[in-house]
């Protein structure tokens, strides 16, 4: 077994008839239950979390092997772990009336309570090892070890010490641990939107996004890559999952990009970068944004509103980067006969606009995100009725959609559960406050150094971890240090959301890059690095809105417009510098000059922005005019025949 197999997650398991039946029963029961809860049906919150965690753990053990080298068929171990998972959560459901009347910490736990809780924590860690990898398990183990033996330390990081029953009480029987905010968001908010994405995809939504994007930009140079950017953005803004987006849209776009001249690495990187942006693009964004709303108390609609400009800037730069790459490589447009017309796509598939408009309106207008997801699912009814032929297949397709939606929640649910263990440890030992203070002291109170240190913490945590787990940990470790600097809660937590999202393409363990690599048949490491370069704006824009809150629509209208325009131009200049092309090849000196101009556009000074704007636009205009004179006859402006200057 090599190192990657050892530290990596397991692989999908092939189930037999009984396994498929049990998986279907669990998935459908959970789906129906939490759809009803989102629609307003009352269910005791803690009982709902017990049901959700039991179902997620059961599905994790049923569907995932111990590691990539294990047999892909059912084993007695998987069955045993599945049954124990169900048994533990049934115990908590049966004992709920007893537990809710006791005073945490003050009333002692029974031996059975402690034993079942220890087994449940072990199951969560094992499910994490299978679905996420051993790295996260080791990180959680480090925090738990600190909780158990931190009293042996000296200095600021020592704590008063606690017994095993007291640790269990804090981790399992309070609202700050395993059954805390992270798992609550996964069960009551994220799931309904994941289900919406699964239903939309199962009834042709993915094909609609692809066809519409193809009709809009397929005729342009680098059309397949631009289709990947648009379709992945549209689908990703609904699904909120970079990996699911890569698998769904990448199966179409990556092979097409390769066939039209993009290298395998470049094709995989473009898809990975485009899919990652869905987690920061309204209306749905992703699980981290829902968790931000729950952690901070800021309404989700407000978060989605201020995230519009940064999200659009991200896709502007990814789209521009693809355009420059295509022109630089001299690629040709697709055959016109292979591309549908926009009017034909909308005439045929206009019905898909109903749920898309509904979900955008519901998320932004209603102050109940879960109910907004239920309304969006209801808006899928016309799509389901018109796109399911024959109608006799409707029950089967609906069942498969619900099962797929639940299975997409396995990794998210497990990650949120294990993040709850870390949050509980941080809470009971006050480690989060100690780390925040240490970051502040380490940076000597310096604003820029503190922000940089916090970003390093988030990026390191993000290596190999799913987005919700990265956000949950970083929100309690890094965000308090940022807020202590005087940065607003919105900007501090949104910065964490951004860096948590780009963890999907940040090597060495970049889940979206690995997913793209499996389709492109290329090495995931180069894909991750190229994807980071394509998506470089996502690493810069958070720094801008921390220094210039106007980018988050805070402040006078003219200031907001000015900062948004300056940031947009700076992002364009940065993309040009990275891609080494703007109406011709740049060269090292010119690339450096464009990079310096980009930095000047990001500076919090209107005068510096104005000077840099004048220089940049004049220079780009001059390069454009010169490229026209250098263009061979018969190549119109904007074709792939632009000659390097």
Contact 554, 302 (CB under 8 A): no
pLDDT category at 294 given cuts 50, 70, 90 is: confident
Q: Looking at residues 150-154, what average pLDDT do you find?
A: 81
pLDDT tens-digit readout, 599-619 = 999 998 889 999 999 998 998
Distance CA 349, CA 353 (A): 8
Distance CA 506, CA 514 (A): 11
SS3 state of residue 603: coil
pLDDT category at 88 given cuts 50, 70, 90 is: very high
pLDDT of 637 above 50: no
H helices present in 342-488, as ranges: 342-349, 353-365, 369-378, 381-387, 394-429, 431-442, 447-461, 467-477, 479-484
pLDDT, position 36: 92
Distance CA 356, CA 209 (A): 11
pLDDT tens-digit readout, 9-21 = 667 777 888 888 9
Q: Would you state the structure tokens that stand for residue 401, as one six-digit string?
A: 């959609």
Q: Would you state the structure tokens that stand for residue 299, as one six-digit string?
A: 């309404």
Mean pLDDT of the chain: 83
**Most confidently modeled range among 82-86, 282-286, 482-486, 578-582:** 82-86
Q: Looking at residues 201-211, what average pLDDT do you find?
A: 80
pLDDT tens-digit readout, 390-420 = 877 888 888 888 888 888 888 888 888 888 8
Query: Quick one: CA dihedral 126, 130, 131, 133, positive or negative?
Result: positive
Distance CA 79, CA 606 (A): 64
pLDDT, position 80: 92
pLDDT, position 71: 66
Distance CA 494, CA 485 (A): 15
H helices present in 464-553, as ranges: 467-477, 479-484, 489-501, 511-520, 524-534, 537-547
Q: Looking at residues 247-269, what average pLDDT do you find?
A: 81
Question: Cβ contacts of residue 191 below 8 Å, gap of 6+?
Answer: 34, 52, 405, 406, 409
| Domain parsing of the chain, residue ranges | 3-133, 187-414, 555-645
pLDDT category at 118 given cuts 50, 70, 90 is: very high
Q: Would you state the structure tokens that stand for residue 249, as one six-digit string?
A: 């849209």
Question: Which is more confident, 545 or 363?
Answer: 545
Distance CA 609, CA 615 (A): 10
Residue 321, Cβ density class (10 Å: 0-12 exposed, 13-18 middle, ≥19 buried): buried
pLDDT tens-digit readout, 172-192 = 988 888 898 888 888 888 888
pLDDT of 8 above 60: no
Q: Which range (48-52, 378-382, 626-630) has the least confidence?
A: 626-630
Question: Cβ contacts of residue 452 below 8 Å, gap of 6+?
Answer: 443
pTM listed for this prediction: 0.77
Question: Which is more confident, 287 or 557?
Answer: 557
pLDDT, position 464: 62
pLDDT of 87 above 90: yes
pLDDT tens-digit readout, 544-603 = 988 889 999 888 899 999 999 999 999 999 999 988 888 888 888 888 998 999 999 999
Residue with tokens 């792939």: 640
pLDDT category at 337 given cuts 50, 70, 90 is: low
């Amino acid at each position: 077994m090599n190192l990657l197999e050892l530290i990596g997650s397991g692989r999908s398991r092939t189930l037999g008839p009984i396994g498929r039946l049990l998986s279907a029963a669990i998935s459908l029961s959970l789906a129906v239950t939490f759809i009803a809860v989102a629609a307003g049906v009352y269910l005791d919150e803690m009982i709902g979390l017990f049901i959700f965690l039991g179902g997620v753990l059961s599905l994790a053990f049923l569907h995932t092997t111990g590691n990539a080298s294990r047999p892909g068929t059912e084993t007695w171990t998987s069955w045993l772990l599945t049954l124990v998972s169900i048994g533990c959560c049934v115990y908590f459901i049966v004992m709920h009336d007893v537990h809710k009347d006791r005073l945490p910490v003050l009333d002692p736990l029974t031996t059975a309570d402690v034993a079942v809780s220890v087994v449940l924590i072990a199951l969560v860690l094992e499910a994490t090892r299978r679905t996420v990898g051993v790295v996260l398990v080791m990180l959680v183990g480090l925090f738990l070890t600190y909780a158990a033996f931190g009293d042996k330390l000296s200095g600021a990081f020592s704590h008063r010490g606690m017994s095993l029953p007291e640790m269990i009480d804090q981790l399992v029987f309070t609202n700050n641990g395993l059954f805390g905010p992270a798992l609550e968001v996964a069960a009551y908010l994220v799931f309904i939107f994941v289900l919406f994405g699964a239903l939309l995809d199962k009834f042709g939504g993915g094909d609609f996004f692809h066809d519409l994007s193809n009709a809009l930009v397929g005729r342009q140079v680098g059309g397949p890559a631009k289709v990947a950017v648009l379709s992945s953005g549209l689908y990703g803004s609904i699904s909120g999952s970079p990996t699911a987006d890569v698998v769904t849209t990448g199966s179409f776009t990556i092979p097409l990009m390769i066939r039209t001249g993009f290298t395998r690495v470049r094709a995989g990187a473009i898809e990975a970068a485009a899919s990652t942006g869905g987690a920061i693009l309204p209306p749905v964004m992703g699980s981290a944004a829902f968790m931000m709303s729950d952690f901070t108390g800021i309404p989700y609609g407000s978060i989605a509103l201020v995230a519009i400009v940064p999200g659009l800037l991200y896709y502007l730069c990814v789209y521009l980067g693809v355009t420059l790459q295509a022109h630089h490589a001299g690629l040709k447009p697709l055959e016109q006969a292979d591309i549908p017309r926009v009017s034909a796509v909308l005439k045929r598939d206009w019905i898909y606009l109903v749920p898309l408009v509904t979900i955008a309106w519901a998320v932004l207008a209603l102050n109940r995100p879960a109910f907004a997801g239920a309304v969006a699912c209801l808006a899928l009814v016309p799509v389901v009725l018109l796109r399911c032929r024959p109608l006799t297949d409707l029950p089967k397709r609906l069942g498969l959609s619900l099962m797929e939606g639940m299975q997409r929640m396995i990794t998210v649910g497990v990650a949120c559960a294990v993040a709850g263990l870390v949050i509980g440890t941080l809470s009971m030992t006050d480690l989060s406050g100690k780390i925040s203070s240490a970051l502040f002291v380490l940076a000597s109170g310096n604003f820029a150094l503190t922000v940089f240190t916090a970003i390093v913490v988030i990026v390191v945590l993000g290596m190999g971890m799913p987005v919700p787990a990265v956000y949950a940990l970083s929100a309690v470790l890094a965000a308090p240090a940022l807020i202590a600097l005087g940065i607003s809660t919105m900007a501090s937590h949104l910065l964490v959301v951004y860096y948590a999202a780009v963890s999907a393409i940040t090597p060495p363990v970049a889940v979206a890059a690995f997913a793209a690599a499996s389709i492109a048949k290329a090495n995931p490491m180069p894909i991750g690095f190229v994807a980071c370069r394509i998506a470089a704006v996502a690493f810069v824009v958070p720094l801008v809105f921390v220094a210039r809150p106007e980018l988050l629509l805070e402040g006078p209208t003219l200031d907001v417009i000015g900062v948004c325009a300056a940031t947009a131009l700076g992002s364009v200049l940065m993309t040009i510098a990275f891609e080494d092309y703007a109406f011709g090849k740049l060269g090292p000196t010119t690339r450096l000059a464009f990079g310096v101009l980009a930095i000047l556009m990001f500076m919090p000074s209107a005068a510096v922005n104005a000077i840099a704007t004048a220089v940049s636009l004049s220079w780009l205009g001059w390069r454009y005019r010169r490229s026209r004179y250098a263009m061979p006859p018969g190549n119109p402006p904007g074709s792939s025949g632009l000659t390097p200057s």
